[in-house]
Structure 1
Amino acid sequence: MASTTLPNPRAERALDLLSFALSDVRYGLGAYLAVYLLTEHAWDEASIGLALSFGGMVGLVSQTPLGILVDAIRAKRALLGGAVMVVTATSLVIPLAPHFWAVAAAGIIGALAGTTMGPTLAAMSLGIVGPARFAHRAGRNEALFHLGNGVINLVILFTAPFFGTAMVFVMMVLTAAGSLVAVARVPAGSIDHRLARGLLPDGRGHGERPSPWGTLLASRPLMVFAATGALFHMANGPMLALVAQKLALGHPGQGIMFTAACAVAAQTVMVPAAALAGARADSWGRKPLFLAAFVALALRGSLYTLSDHPTWLIGVQLLDGVGAGLIGALFPVIVADLTRGSGHFNAAQGAVGTVHAIGGITSGIITGFVVVNAGYQAAFLTLSGIAALGGLGFLLGMPETRPAGGGTAPAEVPVPAD
Structure 2
Amino acid sequence: MADTEAAANHDPSPRSLACLDALNFFLADVRDGLGPYLAIYLTSRQHWDPSQVGVAMAAMLVGTIATQSPAGALIDRVKWKRSAVAGAAAVVAAGCLAMILSPRYSVVVASQGLIGAAASIFPPAIAAMTLGIVGHARMARRTGRNEAFNHLGNVAAAVAAGAAGYFIGYWSIFVLVALMAALSAVTVLILPESDIDHDRARGAREGEERGAKVESIAVLFKDPRILMFTACAVMFHFANAAMLPLVGQKVTQGLDRGTAVLMSACIITAQVVMIPVALAASRLAETWGRKPVFLIGFAVLPIRGLLYTLTADPYLLVAIQILDGIGAGVFGVVSILVVADLTRGTGRFNLTQGVLATATALGAALSNVACGYIVKAAGFDAGFLTLAGIAVAGLLLYALATPETLDAPVVPSGKLAPEAA
Q: Which residue of 2 aligns with 1:228?
A: 232
Q: How does 1:162-177 map to 2 (within 5 A)?
A: 162-177=167-182
Q: Which residue of 2 aligns with 1:346?
A: 350
| Structure 1 Cα separation of the partners of residues 80 and 71 of structure 2 | 14
Greater CA drift, 72-81 or 147-156: 147-156
Greater CA drift, 103-112 or 53-62: 53-62
1:9 is matched by which residue type in structure 2?
A: P
| Structure 2 Cα separation of the partners of residues 206 and 389 of structure 1 | 42
The answer to whether residue 244 in structure 2 is matched with residue 240 in structure 1 is: yes
TM-score by length of 1: 0.94
Task: Confirm or deny: 8 A CA contact 1:205 1:343 kept in the other structure.
Answer: no
1:92 to 97, 100, 108: 97
Q: Which residue of 1 aligns with 2:3?
A: none
The answer to whether residue 152 in structure 2 is matched with residue 139 in structure 1 is: no
Report the 3-state secondary structure (helix = DSSP H, G, I; strand = E; otherwise coil) of the residue aligned with 1:317: helix
Q: Which residue of 2 aligns with 1:292?
A: 296
| Structure 2 Cα separation of the partners of residues 4 and 30 of structure 1 | 41
Greater CA drift, 191-200 or 327-336: 327-336
Greater CA drift, 227-236 or 147-156: 147-156
Q: Which residue of 2 aligns with 1:319?
A: 323
| Structure 2 Cα separation of the partners of residues 205 and 333 of structure 1 | 24
Report the 3-state secondary structure (helix = DSSP H, G, I; strand = E; otherwise coil) of the residue aligned with 1:326: helix
Shift of 1:237: 0.5
Shift of 1:205: 10
The answer to whether residue 224 in structure 2 is matched with residue 199 in structure 1 is: no
**Alignment coverage as a number of residue pairs:** 411
Task: Confirm or deny: 8 A CA contact 2:290 2:338 kept in the other structure.
Answer: yes
1:336 to 323, 340, 346: 340
Greater CA drift, 150-159 or 83-92: 150-159
Shift of 1:385: 1.0
Q: Which residue of 2 aligns with 1:369?
A: 373
Q: Which residue of 2 aligns with 1:393?
A: 397
Shift of 1:374: 0.6
Q: Which residue of 1 aligns with 2:419?
A: none
Specify whether residues 54 and 343 from structure 1 end up closer, same or farther in structure 2 by C-alpha distance, changes over 3 A only: same
Q: Which residue of 2 aligns with 1:102?
A: 107
Specify whether residues 2 and 322 from structure 1 end up closer, same or farther in structure 2 by C-alpha distance, changes over 3 A only: closer
The answer to whether residue 33 in structure 2 is matched with residue 33 in structure 1 is: no
Specify whether residues 104 and 185 from structure 1 end up closer, same or farther in structure 2 by C-alpha distance, changes over 3 A only: same
Report the 3-state secondary structure (helix = DSSP H, G, I; strand = E; otherwise coil) of the residue aligned with 1:306: coil
Task: Confirm or deny: 8 A CA contact 2:96 2:175 kept in the other structure.
Answer: no
Shift of 1:119: 0.6
2:410 to 406, 409, 412: 412
Shift of 1:377: 0.7
Shift of 1:413: 3.7
Shift of 1:261: 1.2
Q: How does 1:203-218 map to 2 (within 5 A)?
A: 203=208, 208-209=213-214, 211-212=216-217, 214-216=219-221, 218=222
1:126 to 131, 141, 144: 131
Q: Which residue of 1 aligns with 2:166?
A: 161
The answer to whether residue 62 in structure 2 is matched with residue 57 in structure 1 is: yes
Report the 3-state secondary structure (helix = DSSP H, G, I; strand = E; otherwise coil) of the residue aligned with 2:309: helix
Shift of 1:213: 5.2
| Structure 2 Cα separation of the partners of residues 258 and 339 of structure 1 | 41
Task: Confirm or deny: 8 A CA contact 1:274 1:329 kept in the other structure.
Answer: yes
The answer to whether residue 387 in structure 2 is matched with residue 383 in structure 1 is: yes
Q: Which residue of 2 aligns with 1:264?
A: 268
Shift of 1:206: 11
Task: Confirm or deny: 8 A CA contact 2:7 2:137 kept in the other structure.
Answer: no
Shift of 1:319: 0.8
Greater CA drift, 133-142 or 197-206: 197-206
Q: Which residue of 1 aligns with 2:11?
A: 6
Shift of 1:11: 0.9
1:309 to 303, 307, 313: 313
Deviations 1:174-211 (A, max 9, x none): 31232122112211000000000000111269963564
Deviations 1:218-267 (A, max 9, x none): 11111110001100000001011000111111212322221111111111
Shift of 1:372: 0.4
Greater CA drift, 207-216 or 332-341: 207-216
Q: Which residue of 2 aligns with 1:408?
A: none
Task: Confirm or deny: 8 A CA contact 2:35 2:57 kept in the other structure.
Answer: no
Q: Which residue of 2 aligns with 1:22?
A: 27
Specify whether residues 37 and 102 from structure 1 end up closer, same or farther in structure 2 by C-alpha distance, changes over 3 A only: same
User: Which structure 2 residue ranges, 5 or more long, are not aligned?
Assistant: 1-5, 417-421
Shift of 1:85: 0.7
| Structure 1 Cα separation of the partners of residues 209 and 249 of structure 2 | 51
Task: Confirm or deny: 8 A CA contact 1:238 1:364 kept in the other structure.
Answer: yes
Report the 3-state secondary structure (helix = DSSP H, G, I; strand = E; otherwise coil) of the residue aligned with 1:250: coil
| Structure 1 Cα separation of the partners of residues 162 and 63 of structure 2 | 31
TM-score by length of 2: 0.93
The answer to whether residue 279 in structure 2 is matched with residue 275 in structure 1 is: yes
